Amino acid sequence: LDLVRKPKLNITPQKIYDSVDHVLETLEPEIEKRDIQVSIPGREAGHEVLADDTHLARAVHNVVLNAIQAMPSGGKLTIRSEAVVYPNGKQMVDLTITDTGPGIPTEQVDDIFNPLFTSKEKGTGLGLAVTNKIIEDQGGEVRVQSERAQGTAFTISLPSP
């Protein structure tokens, strides 16, 4: 239902790292269990986005959880934000979540945001589809770059206040 219903959003300025911190705290047991190193360079920049805090946290949670699950035997999770001015003049903040997992096969990259698509044995195929909708509903976009045996980077781009 999350994919068809238009959510009631309370869009206000949000410090993006408040959501990141909440998600990392929630997922800390999984991060420690898998011996994943977390790096957050540039955190002091304190970027803000225009977003609904609950929905933003859910989207960040989905992407970070996928990154953690992609590194069952350890790795590095890097989270950074950057203020960006797009060619159309729109001011955005890009939050990039990068893992050192196996990467996404090239033939699957175009399908990962489709509902019910999953490469996981016990996956539902809803996490990234819901994440994409949440971010689009808030005037943003989600992009992915992946290289086999190198890892994956998801960028959540949202309007800046």
Give pLDDT, residue 90. Answer: 93
Give pLDDT, residue 62. Answer: 95
Q: What is the pLDDT of residues 60-108, one digit of tens each?
A: 999 999 999 999 999 999 999 999 999 999 999 999 999 999 998 888 8
Helix 127-137 / helix 53-69 crossing angle, nearest 10 deg: 150
CB-CB contact of 95 with 20 (8 Å): yes
Q: Which amino acid is at 70?
A: A
Strands (E), the chain: 12-15, 36-39, 48-51, 75-85, 91-99, 141-147, 151-159
pTM of this structure: 0.90
Mean pLDDT of 49-56: 96
Residue 1: band (very low, low, confident or very high) from pLDDT cuts 50, 70, 90 = very low
In whole angstroms, give the CA distance from residue 85 to residue 132.
21
Give pLDDT, residue 119. Answer: 62
Q: What is the pLDDT of residues 106-152, one digit of tens each?
A: 888 888 877 765 665 665 556 788 899 999 999 999 999 999 989 99
